A and B are shown apart, each in its own frame.
Chain A
Amino acid sequence: MTAAAFGALADTPSSGRRRAWMRSEEARGLALISPTFLYALALLFLPVLIVIAYSFWTQDYLDIDRTFTLENYRQALTEPIYRDLFIRSLWISLTVSIVTVVFSYPIAWFISFHGGVHKNLWLFLVTVPCWTSYLLRVMSWKVILGYGGVMNTGLISMGLIDKPLTSLLYNSNAVVITLVHSWAAFAILPIYVSLQKIDRTLIEAARDLGDSRFKAFLRITLPLSLPGIISAFLIVMIPTVGDYVTPRLVGGKDGVMIATAIQAQFGKGANWPLGAALSVTTMVLVSLTAAAVVLALKFTVRRIR
């Protein structure tokens, strides 16, 4: 197919130069990425553009009024309900990503440094929970945290409490617990990769120069695994802000996040422009928060000397 296209182009006046370009590294690279690029353009970039366009329009009963307005953004940023939802969403996703990274790091570290010949087995086990559907994994937390669930019956049989706790499920804690579990594998893998890349003699050199094991970890292993920590953080944080399923299933009233409001505007509320404005605002807020966290992490690690 491409050969035929090259043939047709060869007859144009500047055919010589064009043919040379066609054989260049650049052309080959573009050809290789073009399917993915077209796919991303059609299914990611254009829809986002449409969403952005919608956010500046107005819903007029069943029609869309296409005159430019910032009214949707005014509502999204000033209405207390949306403001609360934004803050809660960012707060939950920040908590989830911090907790996930903190829990995943020791696991990744253990596999990388003490996994021995079974490293691949350990990594394989890490991915096992991802084999079942996301929905099932969330539902299983309902079974664990529920009124008559594993947690409550366990605590009762141990004699630690005498009647089931109702504070476990249907609140933001439940959302955090469930999301941390869902995303752990996605945090472990990038951290593991960055730990794997660390030359072990660097740690020996640190020990040789007088560091205790812990100091060598703080001064060498931690800073050198920072890229892994950052990507783990972003991989977890960005999708969890807009998570819809988990808050819906285990969040209850207190666990509602911004995605629920966006869904409502595109669904029952039938106000697509407002929904679009909420979506765009979420994107911007996530980007800003992520950038702030990345900078803060880099700064903190640079302070360790």
Chain B
Amino acid sequence: MADRPMIEIANVSKFYGIYKALDDVSLTIGEGEFFSLLGPSGCGKTTLLRSIAGFETPTAGEIFIDGVPSLALPPNRRPTNMVFQNYAIFPHLDVAENVAYGLKRLRLSAQDERKRVGDALDQVRLTGLGQRKAHELSGGQRQRVALARALVMRPKVLLLDEPLSALDKKLREEMQVELRTLQKAVGITFILVTHDQYEALALSDRIAVMFGGRIAQIASPKEIYQRPRTRKVADFLGGMNFLKAKVLGEQGNAVSVDAARFGAVSLDKPQGFAATNGHVTVGIRPERLRLLWDDDRAPHELAGRIENRAYFGEVTHLTVGVDGLEQPLSMVETNNFGADDLPVGAEIRLAYDPEAFVLLAEDPPVTRV
């Protein structure tokens, strides 16, 4: 989190008729930060990004870009540039003309303009492709042109609207690394909209998870994955075993609960925590459960049987039934030790770490129509 705020979103709401696309959203994004807006489709993340760019006008609230109240400014007068989801490469111009598009306004000398275009193309590793036409480019190249075209403007904030969603998996992973490197190199604020939790986790300094036009949690990737605040956030960021637990007692910031067969567990109280009828929801990630072989012993063990098995190459996903638990547990095992050879129905033992449990707050009710 950088010291100086670059974007301040203050109580922004956007209504389409009675539909609330954004519901009183407030957040601050620092200078030089890589910030992700993560959520399912229709959660308002793109509307928020487009409001920062100036393509949507929020119904209420204010957006400050580098301290300047910007809602009244049209897109062309904001120090932001955007990489569009479909890249929006101008089809009648070649690559160099696309990149130089925004520079024309600056009336640079032909030499300076060529230099800046060349530098921008080098930056995205498209050196020498300036004369290509838009239709001669591959998906990855189009994406790079869109990046170069935005970066050449030297914006204060770069907005990325699901920039990698149209690429295949391999290329997407390559581009993720490149995006991160690029952001570190240019040092400007990047705001990424994505519905891919791995992308958000891999790239961001901080992530805001959004549901139904509201922000559910803002935190670093590690914190948001390991300490999700609500059940929905936990669920959206990956697999999670949810358990109903009985509250045994509260002590300061800690709550101790009876997590069924897992026994008594002491947990940190999340913000907005409230027990309903003395019960709470706790969760543990599948990879925090570990299979025990033959003579392995662990301080905390549980017996169960394999109900289902799915092979994923490097890992195997197991569904394990445990007596006394309402839901079977899901767990992830690497295939180094032969987890992929375990038959369905096999009796196994698993180890867990009580520290790995998280207490989850209830999600606010969905008020949207």
B90 and A205 within 8 A (CB): yes
Could you tell me the distance in whole angstroms from the C-beta of A18 to the nearest C-beta in chain B?
Answer: 39
Of listed A208, A211, A219, A220, residue having the most chain B CB within 10 A: A208
Of A208, A220, A223, A305, the residue contacting B82 (CB under 8 A) is A208
B105 within 8 A of A: yes
Nearest CB on B from A222, distance (A): 10
* B54 surroundings in chain A (CB, below 8 A): 207-208
Please give the residue numbers on chain A whose beta carbons come within 8 Å of chain B beta carbons, in ascending order: 199, 201-202, 204-212, 219-220, 223-224, 305
A124 vs B86: C-alpha distance when bound (angstroms): 32
Binds A, one of B96-104, B241-249, B357-365: B96-104
Q: Known contacts A209-B81, A211-B76, A212-B76: does B97 contact A305 (CB below 8 Å)? A: yes
Closest 4 CB pairs of A and B: A209-B102, A205-B88, A201-B88, A207-B75
Q: Say yes or no: B92 contacts A199, CB within 8 Å.
A: no
A223 to B104, CA, bound (A): 17
B81 engages A202 (CB within 8 Å): no
Knowing A199-B86, A207-B76, A209-B81 are in contact, say whether A224-B53 is a contact too (CB < 8 A).
no
The size class of the interface chain B forms with chain A is: 20 to 34
A134, chain B: closest CB distance, angstroms: 37
Q: Please provide the chain B residues from 94 to 121 with a CB less than 8 Å away from any CB of chain A in the complex.
A: 97, 101-102, 104-105
The verdict on B142 contacting chain A, using a C-beta distance below 8 Å, is no
B50 to chain A, nearest CB (A): 9
- Chain B interface residues (CB < 8 Å from chain A): 53-55, 74-76, 80-82, 84-86, 88, 90-92, 97, 101-102, 104-105, 149-150, 153
Is chain B's binding surface mostly helix, strand, loop or mixed? Answer: mixed
Q: How far is the CB of B78 from chain A (nearest CB, A)?
A: 8
Tell me whether chain A's interface is mostly helix, strand or loop, or mixed. helix
Whether the pair A201, B92 counts as a contact (CB closer than 8 A) is: no
Known contacts: A209-B101, A210-B153. The answer to whether A224 contacts B91 by CB under 8 A is yes
Most B-side CB within 10 Å, residue of A204, A223, A224 = A204
A-B contact pairs, 27 of them (CB 8 A): A199-B88, A201-B84, A201-B85, A202-B91, A204-B55, A204-B82, A205-B84, A206-B90, A207-B54, A207-B74, A207-B75, A207-B76, A208-B55, A208-B76, A208-B82, A209-B76, A209-B81, A209-B149, A209-B150, A210-B102, A211-B76, A211-B105, A212-B74, A212-B76, A223-B92, A224-B92, A305-B104
In the complex, what residue of chain A is closest to B106 when comparing beta carbons?
A: A210
Given the known interface contacts A199-B86, A201-B86, A305-B97, the answer about A208 and B75 at a Cβ–Cβ threshold of 8 Å is yes
Which one, B55, B74, B80, B88, contacts A202 given CB within 8 A? B88
Cβ–Cβ < 8 Å partners of B101 in chain A: 206, 209, 219
CB-based nearest B residue for A226: B92
Q: How far is the CA of A266 from the CA of B150 in the complex (A)?
A: 65
